[in-house]
């Protein structure tokens, strides 16, 4: 998707008239540009602060040289470059389609034939890369763009010949975790076989929608890549054996890219879209049609003057009407290729006033939550908290607008989460969405909202990594699993803990691993001796592990996992002579832990991101909630109420209806003092900058609130 040019953007680069922004990264900005011939291009420009650094300029020069050496119809060709310019730039042919990551997230896994065609064409692209004496080193779904006539491999930014000297330190892992070969995960040199491993991961993802070595913390992901077998459930039988060979731990046991091409033996498309499912063809057509809605070129900083002299648009450049006609023809071609797929012109959400003939736009806040599934208690509490905030705002006299709440129940199911997110995001009046309730549904919905530039905020999903996407309009308004343990470890330290056993139960999934592993790391920072243990998912008796840990004479014990197995650990610990501090990871602190553990639950502490609804800071909220719904608020309701009030505060402070992008910037860059905590986000990851959490202790068979803990 595109974004409007800013006033500071250049008007043209290397003979390309810049039309819009395609994205920005740590080192530069990628623009949509048009050459004098009328052809569209993706123009990558290095930021000035990096252009002056010899090592970055050398890396960029290597990227240009690498991309030019690759000759394949399935690799995006270079159309121009100047690595020695004051603002180094690289132009490649523009592919309007989505990335493979977006297509799978929005449309689901590819059918078997589509996966085989994809694999064969990418194998041919890698064959060209390897024949040029290069290793790509970052083959992943985000670096594969889909077009009706086939995929295109992009981004040769870290490609280089195997024998070239790296510009990074010797022990730096280069590439994307989840697609790194075992040798790369261990900081060993990459080879063509490493690209084949990555292609195997990519094809498994395309076929199943899952990464073969899972997701989560980077160190855990790299460990599984090196030591565990891949999860290939759902991969078609006729390609499973080939992918098993691609994912061999030994590089010598993997096929070459050319051998993969021959083994797949699937007929490649002849300029038709019949290899792709209709939903993906429609997505490609929609992306192309959305270009029709690009605004007319606005004056930018370099339009006004260049070295003090007026600048004119070249005479040969097509007028806006010519450009729209050109893009319309491209969209019509996609329509024909898609066998009747509807083509539509996207409407802009730019904050401009509606025309007299259009209806007045609504101000909609969306809520996506699990209202009827496994986490319905949390989802319903959050929906009610958000609804209360909206109703309170709408009851004000002199309010600048009326806010409409639009809810969607994803039932805690990832597949349904994609569908409801796509439906919400398609409403042009939607300004932002709060949700989803759980980690899996939040991760599944990211691409749908990000594709439409909808600001998405979660009040309860704390995962640090979500699949392979890097969402640009997402804010995690809750301390993350990797942020919370620093404060929890400090609290244990202040309570006298100096030697702590940490039991990470793999049955608890990503939350258990991230909480437990990060807790161990933070104990080390505080000079607390840690005794870590990892319980396998299939372990049926954790009592021996508990006894072995207690034998090390710790004065603290931490368990992260599931409520049922937490109860078993609590009972096993109660059978020993251990009398130190006990801490339970908050995802396991549910009512069933109390009932199953019984007396053994007494004394366990929980460090959680949610406040007790009866605590003083939220007492007025609790009163209003009880009056509105006839019952006291559950956990998580106040946090969702806070997030809704933060969005409302930003909407009322803009002086008019903001665009989605402007609203996101206001939320991401601002600071809001809520009832539960102060909300401010760091510039790089958009995580909360504070790790304020709340301590509970089990007393008398209930979770007793012990106050806020800050570090």
In the chain the domains, ranked by start, together with CATH numbers, are 97-276 (1.10.510.10), 363-478+616-670 (3.40.50.2300), 484-608+696-709 (3.40.50.2300)
Classify the C-alpha dihedral 299-304-306-307 as positive or negative: negative
pLDDT of residue 330: 38
Respond yes or no on whether the N-terminal peptide bond of residue 436 is cis (omega within 30° of 0).
Answer: yes
SS3 213: coil
**Using CA atoms, how far apart are residues 117 and 363, in angstroms rounded to an integer?**
44
SS3 230: coil
Are the C-beta atoms of 412 and 438 separated by less than 8 Å?
Answer: yes
**Using CA atoms, how far apart are residues 433 and 471, in angstroms rounded to an integer?**
14
Are the C-beta atoms of 417 and 446 separated by less than 8 Å?
Answer: no
**Using CA atoms, how far apart are residues 600 and 372, in angstroms rounded to an integer?**
32
pLDDT of residue 312: 31
Could you tell me the mean pLDDT of each successive run of 10 residues in the chain, 711 residues long?
74 86 73 82 78 72 77 84 84 87 88 93 92 87 88 68 40 68 86 95 94 81 88 92 96 95 76 77 76 48 36 34 35 36 31 42 95 96 98 94 96 93 94 95 90 94 75 89 92 95 92 92 92 86 94 96 96 96 97 96 97 96 97 97 97 88 93 95 82 94 94 75
**Using CA atoms, how far apart are residues 175 and 187, in angstroms rounded to an integer?**
10
Which of 322, 326, 330, 319 is closest to 288 using CA atoms? 330
**Using CA atoms, how far apart are residues 436 and 440, in angstroms rounded to an integer?**
9
Are the C-beta atoms of 349 and 364 separated by less than 8 Å?
Answer: no
Are the C-beta atoms of 196 and 248 separated by less than 8 Å?
Answer: no
User: Which of the 8 DSSP states describes residue 295?
Assistant: P
C-beta pairs of 392-396 under 8 Å, 24+ apart in sequence: 392/624, 393/648
Which of 226, 354, 346 is closest to 286 using CA atoms? 346
Are the C-beta atoms of 187 and 171 separated by less than 8 Å?
Answer: yes
In this structure, the number of other CB atoms found within 10 A of the CB of residue 259 comes to 15
**Using CA atoms, how far apart are residues 632 and 232, in angstroms rounded to an integer?**
46
Contacts of 196 (CB under 8 A, 6+ apart): 126, 246, 254, 255, 256, 257, 260
Are the C-beta atoms of 410 and 441 separated by less than 8 Å?
Answer: yes
pLDDT of residue 318: 37
| DSSP string for 233-262 | TTS-HHHHHHHHHHT-SSGGGSPPHHHHHH
Residues with catalytic annotation?
A: 138
| Neighbouring-strand partners of residue 404 | 364
Q: Say what angle helices 257-264 and 192-208 make with each other, to 10 degrees.
A: 40
User: Which of the 8 DSSP states describes residue 398?
Assistant: T
SS3 672: strand
Which of 398, 397, 402, 437 is closest to 417 using CA atoms? 437
């Amino acid at each position: 998707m595109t974004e409007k040019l800013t006033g500071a953007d250049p008007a043209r680069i290397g003979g390309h008239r810049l039309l819009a922004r395609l994205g920005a990264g740590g080192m530069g900005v990628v623009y949509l540009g048009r050459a004098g011939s009328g052809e569209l291009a993706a123009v990558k420009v290095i930021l000035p602060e990096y252009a002056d650094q010899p090592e970055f300029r050398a890396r960029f020069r290597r990227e240009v040289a690498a991309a030019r050496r690759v000759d394949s119809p399935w690799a995006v060709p270079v159309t121009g470059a100047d690595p020695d310019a004051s603002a180094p730039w690289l132009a490649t042919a523009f592919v309007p389609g989505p990335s493979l990551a977006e297509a799978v997230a929005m449309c689901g896994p590819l059918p078997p034939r589509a996966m085989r065609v994809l694999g064969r064409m990418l194998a041919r692209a890698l064959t060209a890369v390897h024949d040029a004496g290069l290793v790509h080193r970052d083959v992943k779904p985000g670096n594969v763009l889909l077009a009706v006539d086939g995929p295109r491999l992009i981004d040769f930014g870290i490609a280089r010949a195997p024998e070239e000297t790296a510009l990074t330190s010797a022990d730096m892992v280069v590439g994307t975790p989840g697609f790194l070969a075992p040798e790369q995960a261990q900081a060993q040199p990459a080879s063509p076989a490493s690209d084949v491993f990555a292609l195997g991961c990519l094809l498994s993802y395309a076929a199943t929608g899952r990464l073969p070595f899972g997701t989560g913390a980077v160190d855990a992901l790299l460990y599984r890549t090196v030591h565990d077998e891949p999860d290939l459930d759902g991969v078609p039988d006729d390609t499973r054996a080939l992918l098993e060979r691609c994912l061999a731990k030994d590089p010598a046991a993997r096929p070459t890219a050319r051998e993969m091409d021959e083994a797949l033996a699937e007929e490649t498309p002849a300029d038709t879209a019949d290899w792709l499912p209709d939903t993906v063809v429609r997505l490609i057509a929609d992306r192309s049609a959305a270009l029709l809605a690009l605004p007319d070129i606005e004056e930018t900083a370099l339009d006004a003057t260049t070295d003090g002299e007026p600048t004119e648009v070249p005479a040969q450049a097509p007028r806006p009407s010519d450009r729209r006609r050109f893009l319309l023809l491209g969209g019509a071609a996609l329509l024909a290729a898609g066998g009747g797929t509807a083509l539509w012109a996207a409407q802009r959400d730019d904050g401009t006033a509606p025309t007299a003939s259009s209806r007045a736009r609504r101000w909609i806040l969306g809520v996506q939550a699990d209202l009827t599934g496994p986490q319905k208690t949390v989802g319903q509490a959050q929906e009610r908290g958000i609804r209360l905030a909206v109703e309170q705002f709408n009851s004000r006299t002199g309010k600048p607008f009326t806010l409409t709440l639009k809810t969607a129940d994803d039932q805690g199911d990832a597949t349904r989460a994609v569908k409801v997110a796509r439906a919400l995001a398609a409403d042009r009046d939607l300004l932002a969405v709060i949700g989803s309730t759980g980690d899996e549904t939040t991760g599944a919905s990211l691409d749908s909202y990000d594709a439409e530039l909808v600001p998405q905020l979660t009040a309860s999903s704390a995962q640090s990594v979500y699949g392979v996407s890097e969402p640009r309009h997402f804010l995690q308004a809750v301390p993350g699993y990797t942020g919370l343990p620093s404060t929890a470890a400090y609290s244990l330290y202040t309570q006298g803990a100096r030697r702590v056993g940490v039991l990470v139960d793999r049955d608890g999934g990503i939350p258990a691993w991230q909480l437990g592993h990060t807790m161990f790391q933070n104990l080390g920072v505080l000079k607390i001796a840690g005794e870590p243990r990892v319980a396998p998912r299939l372990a049926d008796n954790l009592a021996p592990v508990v006894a072995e840990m207690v034998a090390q004479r710790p004065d603290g014990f931490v368990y992260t996992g599931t409520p049922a197995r937490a109860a078993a650990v609590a009972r096993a610990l109660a059978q020993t002579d251990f009398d130190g501090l006990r801490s339970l990871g908050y995802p396991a602190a549910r009512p069933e832990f109390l009932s199953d553990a019984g007396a053994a639950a007494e004394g366990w502490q929980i460090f959680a991101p949610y406040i007790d609804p009866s605590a003083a800071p939220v007492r007025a909220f609790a009163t209003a909630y009880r009056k509105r719904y006839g019952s006291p608020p559950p956990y998580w309701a106040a946090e969702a109420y806070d997030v809704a009030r933060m969005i409302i505060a930003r909407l009322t402070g803009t002086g008019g209806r903001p665009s989605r992008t402007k609203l996101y910037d206001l939320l991401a860059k601002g600071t809001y003092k809520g009832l539960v905590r102060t909300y401010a986000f760091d510039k790089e990851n958009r995580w909360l900058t504070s790790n304020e959490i709340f301590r509970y202790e089990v007393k008398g068979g209930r979770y007793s609130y012990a106050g806020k803990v800050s570090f």
